[in-house]
């Protein structure tokens, strides 16, 4: 979803509701002054994160009293709001509460139950590494699933949009005992975070994650699913040990036929169709994992591959598998296409097959 849509979570209607709520909770709150501060003339130009940070600063300026008094109000405000706008309240703690970790850290555990506080914990991880490591261990045993998720999500080495925490990225082994506590969590929401954390770690410490996966694999179906998601990056890159872990390793005898890539020339905004038939030639059943790579043309003319999964299937001897798919070259906010000669390529159990050129034209 585009940023200009997301940022409307902090629209004038929300800000007026926020001002009214503050006025009810705190005697002497100057609603008019807050609104004048919170809604400048160029408000529509502010991005999502800029709006959130501007409102955090405005709350700190216009709520009466010390940070401790203001935090009491913020904790009462949070349950009155839901959705994306709730990220304002953990951000308030991040902005104003770093000098008071004794109040701020418990407050983040309370606020994360309304909207995730994974971004707000990052500066506390930077400033108080030993304390926060113990805190994340404690959160991993919390009765609330949102707090347990924070135990994993907040300490991800490569949290998207999150501040960098150098010690976590350098030595992610410190995080593994926390993830160990959460790997069998009853909440898929929590387990998904564990998988994303491990995927982050695998990008710089693949051996660490593969060793852990070797210990966990086969113990529970939910854990196996967690590991499949955690190792998705290694699987897409054709890492032999990751493939072997899920039964895609070793030599398989197969035949590819009727490979069709069409059209060979198309314009940005159109769809590419591809089809092929795979036959398993072995004498025993075998598992197949199929992906395709699109080698995209970059602005400088070089190629950059991206992997897309097709499917997985166990084939019996001589069984045939017909694949038919489409790939869209529609423009997206996350991907801008460049005209030129792209390449389509099949990946089978981590092994790359022949390249097929595709000419992409301007729309």
Q: Which pLDDT does position 267 carry in this prediction?
A: 97
Give the pLDDT mean for 258-286: 97
**What number is the average pLDDT over the span 167-188?**
97
Q: What is the dihedral of CA 163, 169, 172, 176, to 10 degrees?
A: 20
pLDDT tens-digit series, residues 276-320: 999 999 999 999 999 999 999 999 999 999 999 999 999 999 999
Amino acid 335: pLDDT: 86
- Encoded tokens for 107: 């407050």
| The pLDDT of residue 170 | 95
Q: How far apart are alpha carbons 223 and 76 in whole angstroms?
A: 37
Residue 343 has pLDDT above 80, yes or no: yes
pLDDT of residue 249: 81
Question: In the predicted model, is pLDDT for residue 356 greater than 50?
Answer: yes
Q: What's the mean pLDDT in 228-246?
A: 96
Residues 6 or more apart whose Cβ sits within 8 Å of residue 274? 259, 260, 261, 262, 292, 323, 324, 325, 326, 327, 344
| Whole-structure pTM value | 0.90
pLDDT at 352: 96
Average pLDDT over residues 145-161: 97
pLDDT value at residue 1: 38
Residue 228 confidence (pLDDT): 96
The reported pLDDT for the residue numbered 2 is 44
213 and 227 in contact (C-beta within 8 Å)?
A: yes
Please check whether residue 282 is in contact with residue 311, taking contact to mean a CB–CB distance below 8 angstroms.
no
Please confirm whether the linkage preceding 363 is cis (ω < 30° from 0): no
> What was the pLDDT predicted at 341?
98
Distances (CA, A) of 172 to 50, 154, 158, 205: 31, 13, 11, 8
Burial class (CB in 10 A: 0-12, 13-18, 19+), 90: buried
Element (H, E) at 131: helix 129-139
pLDDT of the residue at 284? 95
pLDDT digits over 318-336, tens only?
999 999 999 999 998 888 9
* CATH code, 254-361: 2.60.40.10
Task: Calculate mean pLDDT across residues 87-107.
Answer: 98
Per the prediction, the chain carries an average pLDDT of: 96
pLDDT band at 3 (very low <50, low <70, confident <90, very high): very low
pLDDT one-digit tens code per residue, 128-146: 999 999 999 999 999 999 9
| pLDDT tens, residue by residue, 23-51 | 999 999 999 999 999 999 999 999 999 99
**Domain spans of the chain?**
1-120, 254-361
């Amino acid at each position: 979803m585009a940023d200009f849509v997301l940022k409307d979570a902090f629209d004038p209607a929300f800000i007026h509701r926020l001002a009214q709520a503050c006025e009810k909770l705190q005697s002497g709150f100057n609603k008019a002054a807050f609104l004048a501060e919170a809604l400048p003339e160029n408000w529509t130009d502010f991005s999502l994160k800029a709006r959130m940070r501007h409102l955090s600063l405005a709350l700190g300026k216009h709520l009466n009293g010390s940070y401790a008094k203001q935090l009491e109000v913020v904790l009462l405000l949070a349950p009155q709001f839901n959705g994306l706008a709730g990220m304002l309240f953990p951000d308030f703690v991040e902005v104003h509460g770093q000098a008071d970790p004794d109040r701020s850290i418990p407050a983040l555990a309370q606020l994360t139950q309304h909207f995730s506080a994974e971004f707000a914990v990052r500066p506390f991880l930077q400033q108080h590494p030993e304390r926060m490591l113990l805190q994340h261990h404690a959160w991993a045993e919390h009765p609330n699933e949102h707090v347990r998720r924070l135990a994993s999500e907040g300490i991800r080495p490569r949290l998207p949009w999150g501040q960098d925490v150098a010690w976590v990225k350098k030595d992610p082994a410190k995080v593994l005992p926390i993830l160990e506590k959460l790997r069998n969590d009853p909440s898929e929401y929590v387990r998904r975070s564990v998988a994303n954390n491990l995927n982050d770690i695998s990008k710089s410490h693949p051996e660490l994650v593969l060793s852990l996966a070797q210990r966990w694999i086969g113990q529970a179906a939910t854990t196996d699913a967690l590991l499949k998601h955690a190792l998705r990056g290694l699987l897409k890159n054709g890492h032999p040990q990751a493939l072997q872990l899920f039964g895609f390793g070793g030599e398989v005898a197969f035949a590819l036929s009727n490979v069709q890539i069409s059209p060979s020339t198309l314009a940005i905004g159109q769809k590419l169709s591809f089809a092929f038939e795979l036959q398993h030639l072995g004498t025993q059943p075998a598992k197949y994992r199929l992906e395709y790579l699109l080698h995209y043309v970059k602005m400088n003319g070089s190629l950059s591959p991206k992997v897309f999964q097709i499917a997985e299937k166990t084939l019996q001897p001589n069984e045939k598998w017909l694949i038919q798919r489409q790939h869209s070259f529609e423009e997206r906010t996350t991907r801008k296409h460049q005209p030129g000669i792209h390449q389509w390529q099949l990946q089978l159990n981590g092994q790359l097959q022949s390249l097929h050129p595709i000419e992409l034209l301007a729309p």
